Amino acid sequence: MSISPETNANSLGSDFIEATERALGSGNLGEVSDTELERVMTAAVRLFAAKAESENRTVRPITPEALTPTDIVVTVSALIRSGGLNLWDVSMWFNRTRP
């Protein structure tokens, strides 16, 4: 997907964010399909990893005040399981030194 130069970077995720807020607010979680959630999560994780690995700075992945500890742990656990990893694998990366 190519983004035209006139596209406002702040609007790239706005449709998904609005749909998410509606779904969470109404309790109708099916308003965002599992397929669309998977596509967005996959794209976001790929971009985050690429930025974190290529840029010489810490990339902040979330706004902690917007999430509960449960939100974070449920998501991280699902990512670990989906990736076929275990906590030992994760521990190898957790405290690795950065160049």
pLDDT tens, 20-75?
A: 999 999 999 999 999 999 999 999 999 999 998 887 778 889 999 999 999 999 99
Of residues 5 and 29, more confidence is placed in: 29
Question: Sign of torsion, CA 43 66 8 54?
Answer: negative
Please give the pLDDT value at position 13. 87
